[in-house]
Chains A and B, each alone.
Chain A
């Protein structure tokens, strides 16, 4: 597909990285020559220096024949305008990043009036993700599928876990829990485990299950953390705002620590239920004063990655709180993963996953679309959700009779409000939501998981 990306910031860069890997023709537009240069030097994309709302620049980028335009400049209004101009010039689908809270309840309106295919708000998406982790603190990451009915729960095997040296095929009879192990991340590798697989300390395991079964399982393996009742958010940016809103709605007491008095004023106006503290979140005394030691949830959301990492390490040290760290950049991942940070949220990657899902669905022939997509272990594996269509090649055949490609696992089938952890006898039926994890290849249609 021909894709134009306007804006070469962090999200733009991640998008080019992933989309050019998937063989799309990418043209990037940015006003800063050095940013364009940086992308075209390292990635297989063409660059144009110019302003994305300039009609001529868009024409030069090939808007007339492009399939998709993604506007991810730092400026919401520019993104919207760019999409409108693109829409009027060519026949492409458009995606805009809009993140100012004043547009918050209006995305449906904007989408319709401006003919946008999608509005992305990385901060809101990140906030949603963090709130899920707070709802289910035993997991370090929660990926939700089938409109929240099915979840992929990630947890780390600790040094004294009863899972260590346990074989996967003995898991069920040891714990009598109805969970399915989908992927294991060990070091830099992703494993889709079979029965002989043995757990090690330090593995990051993802399981598919229903909530209550998962809770039961976590209790049995000794990871018990109760639902968060109060939370301290360090930093009062957009993510903190969206997160506070969500948390307050679900009855969690929120304290936001923000250093800028003017921003504190605004937050206080927008979030009357939250406690807004004007002060430096890296001040130990201040954190103690606000009760970090007793906090059940802590999110480090300042603008500086380094500060966030230190804050989370400190919070893990002095309290029992569930900690979440926001990290903006993607450098030094391997070091960051070694640290005891709890959950890590990359808003950039979440956004890119979101757009990738849309692109995969678009490049597909309407037969069965990617409903949800999450990349695992830095893109080495993927978890995807599909809705099975009537005439799908995989429908109505018991799983044991289907010839799947290597490193493929059907984790979960969601049918009429029921979650099925499939065995060989089960089959996928039209209308089911199916959760698949796979590594080593990419798909945009469910039938591609079959051997040719």
Chain B
């Protein structure tokens, strides 16, 4: 294992985090808040650590798959550890464990909070909470690759570890250009939302933080009632952008390069929209008696479906009060998640499509035992390695889900609370059902459970494998 290179990259990460931390410090300055100062201090701290770790370029800059996975997992942990300090120093979140939970929840775009009163927070802290969503959404390594001329071909191993989806492909030949295109689209979508929200009467600060939460599919709101307090028009804008953020970015790249036919031929995107339409339709029908007008029912149905399937976690209504069928649909959507190659979490639509195709293949094999059938996505044959890792992903996923539920159950809450809390963490959504529903928060859990949930959030965001690699003893063994 190339330890010196791993440390070097961790140093680079800290330097970037220092730059990110300057933004909330600036916000603090604008609002003349004392709470901006801790951000500045931690920014300097990160910079010092970063400079120390990057003082010398290591002799060998090669990163193999193992180093890639380890680096990414460690980076996310380190970023969260440092990112949590300002919350404690500013007094907004006195307990460090809670602050860490909040920060990991931010970076992993989960959006689950331990705060009972969000509105009491300083502007600087509110901004940082939402901004972590934005950074974590597209990924910090993708950002670094777009800017730093890092180390040539082997950076692909970093991108592979950070980007969601069963198989990661580049949009254009160079990693750097791919990263630039991804962030270009990301920034464009974010700006569009900010402008639209402002145009429809949301204050600038609110629209910035809301947009960060939407396009990063995070879900931290700056109001206690999430998005429910804003006008219907604003809710509709947020709905649209949530759903857009859950689309595979290859779709936008195809649109940009005028391959419109190709864009709409992406199977995953078609399924994604189908699932949204069908589930929103059923929920609207199922909940029609709860709301006075049809338009309100449809609005709430679409908002909640978009919020859950893209794993954002905003809410406009308390779906704890919905009938069981609608709640079940929402729980299923939690697991499905957004498209691969988007900012969303969950199992990803493309994995499910592959899994269903595998089931069909196996069934067909019983009828025609000698049949040779290849599984295809978008007309291309899916490699055996991809199929295998998709299957393994599913198994690890459920193992983590069950073990975490068991561990969290020591707190003696009811099953729905525990199960949906873990599912919501692992899929990076935010709210669950019952005691962790959209109007509640996660402060009820014990410290132990919080650590379990933090692990689940990171595992979910990094798609299980990087974190599991950290737990393998042979990763660290010196040969």
Q: Which of A21, A25, A33 contacts B173 (CB 8 A)?
A: A25
Kindly list chain A residues whose C-beta atoms are within 8 Å of the C-beta of B174: 20, 25, 44
* Shortest distance from the beta carbon of A2 to any chain B beta carbon, whole Å: 8
Q: When the two chains form their complex, are residues B383 and A44 in contact, meaning their CB atoms are under 8 A apart?
A: no
Q: How many residues in A have their beta carbons less than 8 Å from beta carbons of B? A: 15
Q: When the two chains form their complex, are residues A41 and B157 in contact, meaning their CB atoms are under 8 A apart?
A: yes
Kindly list chain A residues whose C-beta atoms are within 8 Å of the C-beta of B65: 41
- Complex: A42 Cα to B68 Cα, angstroms: 12
- For residue A46, CB closer than 8 A to chain B, the reply is yes
Kindly list chain B residues whose C-beta atoms are within 8 Å of the C-beta of A26: 173
Kindly list chain B residues whose C-beta atoms are within 8 Å of the C-beta of A25: 172-174, 177
Q: Binary interface profile of B, 116-140, with partner A (CB < 8 Å = 1, else 0)?
A: 0000000000000000000000000
* Shortest distance from the beta carbon of B259 to any chain A beta carbon, whole Å: 10
- Complex: A21 Cα to B173 Cα, angstroms: 12
Known: A25-B174, A27-B173. A40 touches B156 (CB 8 A): yes
Kindly list chain A residues whose C-beta atoms are within 8 Å of the C-beta of B170: 40, 46
Kindly list chain B residues whose C-beta atoms are within 8 Å of the C-beta of A44: 152-153, 155-156, 173-176
- Complex: A20 Cα to B154 Cα, angstroms: 12
Q: Binary interface profile of B, 142-154, with partner A (CB < 8 Å = 1, else 0)?
A: 0000000000111
Q: Binary interface profile of A, 35-70, with partner B (CB < 8 Å = 1, else 0)?
A: 000001111111001000000000000000000000
- Complex: A27 Cα to B155 Cα, angstroms: 17
Kindly list chain A residues whose C-beta atoms are within 8 Å of the C-beta of B169: 46
Kindly list chain A residues whose C-beta atoms are within 8 Å of the C-beta of B383: 33
Number of A-B contacts (CB under 8 A): 39
* Shortest distance from the beta carbon of B140 to any chain A beta carbon, whole Å: 20
* Shortest distance from the beta carbon of B156 to any chain A beta carbon, whole Å: 6
* Shortest distance from the beta carbon of A34 to any chain B beta carbon, whole Å: 9
- Complex: A45 Cα to B175 Cα, angstroms: 8
Q: Binary interface profile of B, 296-314, with partner A (CB < 8 Å = 1, else 0)?
A: 0000000000000000000
Q: When the two chains form their complex, are residues B173 and A45 in contact, meaning their CB atoms are under 8 A apart?
A: yes
Kindly list chain B residues whose C-beta atoms are within 8 Å of the C-beta of A21: 152
Q: Binary interface profile of B, 374-409, with partner A (CB < 8 Å = 1, else 0)?
A: 000000100100000000000000000000000000
Kindly list chain B residues whose C-beta atoms are within 8 Å of the C-beta of A33: 383
Q: When the two chains form their complex, are residues B172 and A43 in contact, meaning their CB atoms are under 8 A apart?
A: no
Kindly list chain A residues whose C-beta atoms are within 8 Å of the C-beta of B153: 20, 41-45
In the complex, what residue of chain A is closest to B381 when comparing beta carbons? A49
In the complex, what residue of chain B is closest to A16 when comparing beta carbons? B153
- Complex: A49 Cα to B170 Cα, angstroms: 14
Q: Binary interface profile of B, 171-213, with partner A (CB < 8 Å = 1, else 0)?
A: 0111111000000000000000000000000000000000000
* Shortest distance from the beta carbon of B149 to any chain A beta carbon, whole Å: 10
With a 10 A CB-CB cut-off, give which of B153, B170, B177, B380 has the most chain A CB atoms: B153
Kindly list chain A residues whose C-beta atoms are within 8 Å of the C-beta of B380: 49
- Complex: A391 Cα to B65 Cα, angstroms: 51
Q: Which of B156, B172, B173, B176 contacts A41 (CB 8 A)?
A: B156
Q: When the two chains form their complex, are residues A46 and B156 in contact, meaning their CB atoms are under 8 A apart?
A: no
Kindly list chain B residues whose C-beta atoms are within 8 Å of the C-beta of A20: 152-153, 173-174
Q: When the two chains form their complex, are residues B172 and A46 in contact, meaning their CB atoms are under 8 A apart?
A: yes
Q: When the two chains form their complex, are residues A43 and B157 in contact, meaning their CB atoms are under 8 A apart?
A: no
In the complex, what residue of chain B is closest to A45 when comparing beta carbons? B173
- Complex: A46 Cα to B153 Cα, angstroms: 10
With a 10 A CB-CB cut-off, give which of A2, A33, A40, A43 has the most chain B CB atoms: A40
Residues of B near any A CB (own CB < 8 A) = 65, 152-157, 169-170, 172-177, 380, 383
Residues of A near any B CB (own CB < 8 A) = 2, 20-21, 25-27, 33, 40-46, 49
Would you list 28 pairs from A and B whose C-beta atoms are within 8 A, ordered by A residue? Answer: A20-B152, A20-B173, A20-B174, A21-B152, A25-B172, A25-B173, A25-B177, A26-B173, A33-B383, A40-B156, A40-B170, A41-B65, A41-B153, A41-B154, A41-B157, A42-B153, A42-B154, A43-B153, A44-B152, A44-B153, A44-B155, A44-B156, A44-B173, A44-B175, A44-B176, A45-B173, A46-B169, A46-B173
Known: A20-B173, A40-B170. 20 other contacts (CB 8 A): A2-B173, A20-B152, A20-B153, A21-B152, A25-B172, A25-B173, A33-B383, A41-B154, A41-B156, A41-B157, A42-B153, A42-B154, A44-B152, A44-B153, A44-B155, A44-B156, A44-B173, A44-B174, A45-B173, A49-B380
The 5 closest A-B pairs by CB, nearest first: A43-B153, A25-B173, A46-B173, A44-B153, A46-B170
